[in-house]
Amino acid sequence: MSKPGSATIKLIPVDNLRPGMYVADVNCSWLDHPFVASHFAVKDDKRIQEIRSLGIRELYIDTDKGLDVSNAPTEAEVREEIDQRMEALADEIGLDEPRVELAEEIHRARLLHKEANQVVKDMLHDIRLGKQIEMEHLEPMVENMIDSIFRNQDALLPLARLKQHDNYTFQHSVSVCALLVSFARGLDMDRDLIKQIAIGGLLHDVGKAKVPDEILNKPAKLTEAEFGKMKSHVVQSNLILQHTPGISRIALDVAAQHHERYDGTGYPNKLKGEEINLYGRMAAIVDVYDAITSERVYHKGMAPTAALGRLLEWSKYHFDPKLVRIYVKSLGIYPTGSLVKLDSGRLAVVREQHPDKLMQPRVTVMYHARKNGYLPPEDLDLAAPNCQDRIVGHEEYEDWGIDPARWVK
């Protein structure tokens, strides 16, 4: 399911980190640290204290580039354990059956996604000008997004991955909204509650309108002051929404708590466990998932299956473990829009989930990995009795020079 990790990359507790080691991965979302890269040499105790202060409990070191720790598990061993947990989830329970055929919903979903991005872009512009959020402009659009996901979520959700660097902030908000709808649906919540959670997702980052663009888009390590300013967007979002007529307490909680962490290491209030309400715990999971699967100027987007694996890994400390399991099942082991490798050596884009067979989605085969060339697109149902192919792992579009926008649509 995942690519094998190097035997020289090991997972260690932060308490075992020493000067002379080389951090291969700080093992948290880029949202939660100010470093321009997640890998670097540890030169002194000051850097160790900086890492500790961010709430990081475990990280990966590269023993080829620095000191070793005996008996620490390798990255390959960690990934193998996560793969086993993912496969066990696939056997437990599936998604709801879609109500309409994918082909019927795709056109509506594309138009809706475009409209939602424009609405949120205009809203953030208005906030910068000091204008108030007008809920009557947002609620019908959120209702339409919920309708689309209930009809067939495989039409709208893949569009969440298609973002432009300069438009990340508002496109991320639309994606979080859509993903929260799917998540809440997986929790069998009622329609009105789903709507309030979705509105919170759409508005969760409005406080970024108060953060200077040079900080939001800085392609370098943030200073301590800049990182503090970045984190202040949560408080700013809360202030803006408290003065928004018609906003619900549920939507406010989504925005106010999406950076809290289950072990109490989040912000702004360092809430712990169920001190963070259900909606805040949901939003934290979705916010990180969308962030780490998105391409940024200085952060390479992660394949969706790999990102779900990291959420399972991080649920040891940062996220509600039960909710992470439900979130994985709400999207599927290989989320729609993922690039996967088949046993035949061909690459395929995941098109649609099978509710009771999450390891065997419908795909479009379009590339041959061994021959390094495109194939005539072919739709394939991996769950069909006569299908002889199967998924053997997920892939990164970038590694094959494939433009996801050409296929995720």
CA distance 204 to 280: 10
What lies within 8 Å, CB to CB, of 242 at 6+ separation is 252
**Mean pLDDT of the region 55-76:** 94
pLDDT of residue 168: 76
3-state secondary structure of 22: strand
Alpha-carbon gap, residue 316 to 346, rounded angstroms: 35
Indicate whether 251 pLDDT > 70: yes
Q: What is the pLDDT of residue 217?
A: 80
Q: Where are the domains of the chain?
A: 9-78, 102-331, 339-407
pLDDT given for residue 1 in this prediction: 62
Burial 105-130 (b: 16+ CB within 10 A, else e): bbebbeebbeebbebbbebbeebeee
Decide: helix, strand or coil at residue 3. Answer: coil
210 pLDDT above the threshold of 70: yes
Average pLDDT over residues 47-58: 92
Residue 2 has pLDDT above 60, yes or no: no
pLDDT in the model for residue 5: 61
Average pLDDT, integer, range 395-406: 91
- Asked whether residue 330 carries a pLDDT value surpassing 60, the answer given is yes
Average pLDDT on 200-215 reads: 92
Indicate whether 231 pLDDT > 70: yes
**What are φ and ψ of residue 115, in 5° steps?**
-65, -45
What mean pLDDT do residues 83-92 have?
84
- Confidence category of residue 81, pLDDT binned at 50, 70, 90: very high
- pLDDT of residue 160 exceeding 90, the answer is no
- % of the chain with per-residue pLDDT over 70: 97
- 268 upstream amide cis, omega within 30 of 0: yes
Average pLDDT over residues 242-248: 95
| pLDDT above 80: residue 144 | yes
Angle in degrees, 0-180, between the axes of helices 321-331 and 75-92, rounded to the nearest 10: 70
Query: Edge to edge, what strands does the sheet with 373-381 contain?
Result: 373-381, 362-368, 346-352, 339-342, 391-395
CA 109, CA 386: separation in Å to the nearest integer?
31
Instruction: Render pLDDT for 303-318 as a digit per residue (tens, 0 to 9).
Output: 999 999 999 999 999 9
Confidence of residue 10 (pLDDT cuts 50, 70, 90): very high
Mean pLDDT, rounded, for 341-363: 94
Contact 230, 281 (CB under 8 A): no
- Mean of pLDDT values over 254-271: 96
Label residue 97 by pLDDT band (50, 70, 90). Answer: confident
What's the pLDDT band for 166 if we cut at 50, 70, 90?
Answer: low
Tell me what percent of the residues of the chain surpass a pLDDT of 90.
Answer: 77
Q: Is the pLDDT of residue 164 over 90?
A: no
Q: Report d(CA 258, CA 252) in Å as an integer.
A: 10
Lowest mean per-residue pLDDT among 226-240, 247-261, 285-299, 343-357: 285-299
| Pairwise CA distance, residues 349 & 340, whole Å | 6
Confidence at residue 304, expressed as pLDDT on a 0 to 100 scale = 94
- What is the average per-residue pLDDT within 171-182? 96
| Cβ(127)–Cβ(208) below 8 Å | no
Give strand pairing partners of 393.
341
Query: What mean pLDDT, rounded, does the chain reach?
Result: 92
> Residue 355: is its pLDDT beyond 90?
no
Class of domain 102-331: mainly alpha
Residue 3 has pLDDT above 60, yes or no: no
Q: What pairs with residue 368 in β-bridges?
A: 346, 373
Asked whether residue 120 carries a pLDDT value surpassing 80, the answer given is yes
pLDDT (0 to 100) of residue 4: 52
Predicted pLDDT at 165? 60
